């Protein structure tokens, strides 16, 4: 049932998943379609013990995050391709969607870094 609601939320929209791995700043990335909807999610980004970037959601869930292609990461946070900076350990409002990896991989060309691969779900952030 969750997959149907996620797919319904993606019709005509774009979702970006935020996730980064390792101190070198490699990220889970995906391709953003020409149009997307800003859904206004409250998240706080942090690095896990193994260096992967996670998103803590407003409901308390902590999940791997993925970013649009062109996102960079350093020790203080991430910078999206449009120049917006999202610091670690600070609540931030972002657009995004919680989705399963199969859908994100097939529909948005999600590229997952092997050292940070996790189970479902992923939070795609934009």
Q: Cα–Cα distance between 85 and 63 in angstroms, integer? A: 20
Q: Is the pTM of this model over 0.85?
A: no
Q: Residue 81: is it exposed, middle or buried by C-beta count within 10 angstroms (0-12/13-18/19+)?
A: middle
SS3 state at 86: strand
**The residue count for the chain:** 126
How does pLDDT run along the chain (126 residues), one tens digit per residue?
Answer: 433 333 333 322 223 333 334 334 566 776 665 555 556 889 999 998 888 899 999 999 999 999 988 999 999 999 999 999 999 999 999 888 888 878 788 877 888 888 788 777 888 888
Containing structural domain, residue 117: 2-125
SS3 state at 40: coil
- The total number of structural domains that make up the chain: 1
């Amino acid at each position: 049932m969750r997959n149907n609601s996620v797919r319904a939320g993606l019709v005509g929209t774009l979702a970006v998943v935020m996730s980064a791995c390792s101190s070198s700043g490699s990220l889970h990335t995906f391709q953003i379609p020409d149009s997307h909807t800003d859904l206004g999610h409250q998240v706080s980004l942090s690095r896990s013990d193994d260096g992967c970037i996670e998103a803590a959601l407003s409901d308390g869930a902590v999940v791997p995050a993925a970013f649009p292609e062109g996102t960079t990461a350093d020790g203080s946070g991430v910078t999206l391709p449009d120049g917006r900076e999202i610091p670690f350990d600070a609540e931030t409002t972002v657009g995004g969607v919680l989705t399963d990896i199969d859908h994100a991989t097939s529909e948005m060309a999600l590229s997952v870094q092997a050292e940070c691969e996790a189970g479902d779900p992923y939070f795609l952030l934009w």
